Amino acid sequence: MSLLDRMLTLDRRWIFLVVAVAVTVPLFLHLEQKIEITQESRGVFEGLSGLPAGARVIMACDFDPGSAAEVQPMAIAFLKFALSHRLRVIIMGLWPQGPMQADLALRDALRDPAVVAVAPQYGIDYINLGFQSGNEIVIQRMGSNIPAVFPRDSRGRPIAEFPIMENVRSFDAFEFVFNVSAGYPGTVEWVQFAGDRFHATIGSGTTAVSAPLYYTYFPTQVAGVLGGMKGAAEFETLTGFSGKGTAFMLSQSFAHIVVILFILLGNATYFLGRRRKAATPQEVAG
């Protein structure tokens, strides 16, 4: 059997295997990939980096484990940067799984040496208010009475017990809102009800499939947008906290190269096969 025949009859499982290797191997290589920074990603960083120590920020986690591969690195980098710069972080979610994903991000962030050096304390420097049902109605109510919307934190303790929640009544108590979104409710609702109505400054971190919609809000309605895994890698680069976003981008690049090579090889094999079939009758006739 010729090489062309082998390529024409190649079992597709070999292709899946090669792609799997291309995705996995870069995770164990100490390679650096240049990350081009977009203005949308820079907007999130600049909105956050310009805040003074002690400023309160909201991290609204509106995603679930299914989209964590893309947006969880954003949440981790955000927490590392905010806590290491002594910003006070209030975590909440309009998705039931969101605050739980935030706890996982916190676990990673609190192990970082830059954060450990600051020694942030729960209830003073950060707090998780948990999930609240109601979608955009929750955001609307937060504009006038946050303690009524979140009377207790995710652990069941009254928020009046925590210094971080002192004098917090509305969005006026916050300098920045970072929404990590994977759909509805998410950035659209935060823009409509917190940004447009209560003039909150909003940054968005979202999945790649949703990013084109949110880019239209930049820079008038959102300070910036992190789009998909690339947005996460860009934010990690800007903050200096490299993590899974940067590592996954390298794997993604290798996988794209392999897929492109297979497409080129497949097309070349197809056209060579057609030429051979077209030439065969003439050879027989001769």
3-state secondary structure the chain: CCHHHHHHCCCHHHHHHHHHHHHHHHHHCCCCCCCCCCHHHHHHHHHHHCCCCCCEEEEEEECCHHHHHHHHHHHHHHHHHHHHCCCEEEEEECCCCHHHHHHHHHHHHCCCHHHHHHCCCECCCEEEEEECCCCHHHHHHHCCCHHHHCCECCCCCEHHHCHHHCCCCCHHHCCEEEEEECCCCCHHHHHHHHHCCCCCCEEEEECCCCHHHHHCCCCCCCCEEEEHHHHHHHHHHHHCCCCHHHHHHHHHHHHHHHHHHHHHHHHHHHHHHHHHHHHHHHHHHC
Topology of the domain comprising 33-242 = Rossmann fold (3.40.50)
- The structural domains of the chain, with segments of one domain joined by +, span 3-26+250-285, 33-242
- The pLDDT tens digits along the chain (286 residues) read 677 677 767 777 888 888 888 778 877 777 677 889 999 999 999 999 999 999 999 999 999 999 998 999 999 999 999 999 999 999 999 999 999 999 999 999 999 999 999 999 999 999 999 999 999 999 999 999 999 999 999 999 999 999 999 999 999 999 999 999 999 999 999 999 999 999 999 999 999 999 999 999 999 999 999 999 999 999 999 999 988 888 877 777 777 788 888 888 888 887 877 787 777 665 545 5
The pTM for the full model equals: 0.84
